[in-house]
Amino acid sequence: MARLRKAGRIWKKPQARADAERVLIEARDGLFTIEPDAIFGRAAPLEVELGAGRGEFVVTRAAEFPERNFIAVELSGVVSRMLAVRCGAAGLENLRVARMDARPLVALMLAPHSVTRYHIYFPDPWPKERHHKHRLFTPRLAAGLVRTTAADGLVCVATDVGGYAAEIFAMLEGAGFSRLDDRAPGAEATGFARKFIALGKPVFAATFRPPPCGADFAADESAQPASRPDGIG
């Protein structure tokens, strides 16, 4: 409730709201595609963070790479507004916030091979088995990542839950992704990452390269995960 009240107070401030609305893309009737070149007014490599939370990582990265475009995706209304306020206040012309479900965004709304890099850090593990249907990662999402990741692009993932990491990594590899030695840049840079590291909790992270363009992958919801993940990538 405190977070809701804080978000409400900030949203009522004219400048904060104006800054937020300038960068906010909201799912609505008739919005079927995301066209980054039109949104940003330029063609540039595109990085997308799914589940950007309060934006600690994406704001810093967008400032570091002004030659790239960034979309921060967040479903929660309260969190997405706070994220939009933060991104708007940063004054970065290469950063936008998409308030929508990441799954249809990846499956339907982004053009094939249009994303240079995906960042997916600490997605909700929904630990109870009856809640697994709410998880972000499924073989269908992995298929969508194959469809939308550029041939030379990357998918960077991190989680603090070992079992979930094993499932995620297996899904991506089952979709044709190849695991690399590259470090996942958000594995230590998000708010959750800093919290878990401070508590001494392990972080399981990896970076993946997509299969060659044109490789087929059938989204098999019965795909079995590997037994356990490796450590941080």
Residue whose entry in the numeric block shows the structure tokens 């919801």? 221
Q: What residues are annotated to the active site?
A: 124
Q: Which residues contact 133 (CB under 8 A, 6 or more apart)?
A: none
Which residue in 147, 128, 126, 129 sits closest to 137, CA to CA?
Answer: 126
Q: How far from each other are the two terminal CA atoms of the chain, in whole angstroms?
A: 37
